[in-house]
Amino acid sequence: MTFLMKRTLAIALAIGLDLRLGDPSNRFHPVAWMGRAIAAAQRTAPAHGHRAQFVYGILISVGGVLVTATTGWLWALGCRRLPWWLSVIGEALLCKMSFALRGLSTAADAVYQPLAADDLPTARQQLRWHLVSRDTAELTASQIAAATIESVAENASDGVIAPLLYYVLLGLPGALAYRFLNTADAMLGYRDIRREWLGKASARLDDVANLLPARFTALLILAAGWLMGCDRDMAWRIWWRDARVTASPNAGHPMSAMAGVLGVALEKVDHYTLGAGQRSPSVHDILRSVALLRLATFLGLAVLTVISFCWGKKYHDHNRTT
């Protein structure tokens, strides 16, 4: 079996495993191990001195990328020595650990259920627990729905499409290295006294790593919306107009695309509004966003299969001529 066929099968199997089984416990999850390693490194970081903290943050980011990429390379190398079907299963198992489609859907549902029952305290608690770091204590029902939809859209890129894209382009080393950078940014990329300079390197590297996936995800969301019958022209205009209104150079792309497809305004109070002029989201728009997430993922799988074929053919042809 050819290299490109194995990689394509591994992606399909990884998505199937995720939808069927979800994530293992943190005890067995590589991303949880990354988080514990980052937390341990943070505890020994310099308490003072911007330069020292910045350099230490670079060491965390670069060191983590090297370790995770090497781990992925060794795992892939071991898989190549197995029969083709075991090789596919081995790659799929570790590839699956780099993304969380079912986990994101489950997190959104954990907010949807109490919100649909008008249990705002529980909905706020679930939103803060699963999806956002902002204060949720005073959010209205519509604001809870908006924050959930924003998280679904942003994590469609960070938590699903980006690791799959890096797996296609760079194999397991790329998928795991991306996941480490994204985890480091999620833990260290805050503008408080302790992490302002410590997390600067991981935040900038994560921005660079997400330049392509965020825009690719936005296009997938738009394509999924068109298949579901949305106003195509309006969705495109909202994405084009609002993709750059967020502080992040990347998060606004999938979120504004989602706002345009759903026909809603997604507001983070005192920060930004995506899709201004459209209606406020309702609880049922959460379900629509999850449906878009799943359809966009399967469209992405189709596109990534083509990319995998072309990439693998180029790799194969190059090796044959050298």
Long-range Cβ contacts of 231-238 (<8 Å, 24+ apart): 231/263, 234/260, 234/263, 235/260, 235/261, 236/260, 238/274, 238/275, 238/278
Average pLDDT, the chain: 92
The answer on pLDDT for 322 being more than 60 is: no
The answer on pLDDT for 308 being more than 80 is: no
Go through 142-151 and write b for each residue having 16 or more CB atoms within 10 A of its CB, e for each that does not.
Answer: bbbbbbbbbb
Residue with tokens 């803060």: 128
| Number of domains composing the chain | 1
Q: Which helix (H) or strand (E) holds 175?
A: helix 162-188
The answer on pLDDT for 1 being more than 80 is: no
User: Binning pLDDT at 50, 70 and 90, where does residue 317 land?
Assistant: low
Q: Both tokens of residue 1?
A: 């079996």
The answer on pLDDT for 313 being more than 90 is: no
Share of the chain above pLDDT 90, in %: 81
pLDDT, one tens digit per residue, over 237-280 is: 999 999 999 999 999 999 999 999 999 999 998 899 999 999 99
Averaged pLDDT for residues 112-137: 95
Distance CA 100, CA 159 (A): 6
Question: What are the residues facing 273 on neighbouring strands?
Answer: 267
Averaged pLDDT for residues 1-5: 64
Residue 293: which of 134, 107, 29, 31 has the closest Cα?
107
Distance CA 93, CA 28 (A): 12
For the entire predicted model, the pTM comes to 0.92
Question: What are the residues facing 267 on neighbouring strands?
Answer: 273
pLDDT, one tens digit per residue, over 140-165 is: 999 999 999 999 999 999 999 999 99
Distance CA 288, CA 199 (A): 34
pLDDT, one tens digit per residue, over 45-85 is: 998 899 999 999 999 999 999 999 999 999 999 999 999 89
The answer on pLDDT for 318 being more than 60 is: no
pLDDT for residue 193: 82
pLDDT for residue 305: 83
Q: Are strands 272-274 and 266-268 parallel, antiparallel or unpaired?
A: antiparallel
Q: Which domain holds residue 180?
A: 3-321
pLDDT, one tens digit per residue, over 196-211 is: 899 999 999 999 999 9
DSSP three-state, residue 48: coil
pLDDT for residue 187: 94
**Amino acid in the structure at residue 56:** Y
DSSP three-state, residue 265: coil
Averaged pLDDT for residues 314-320: 52
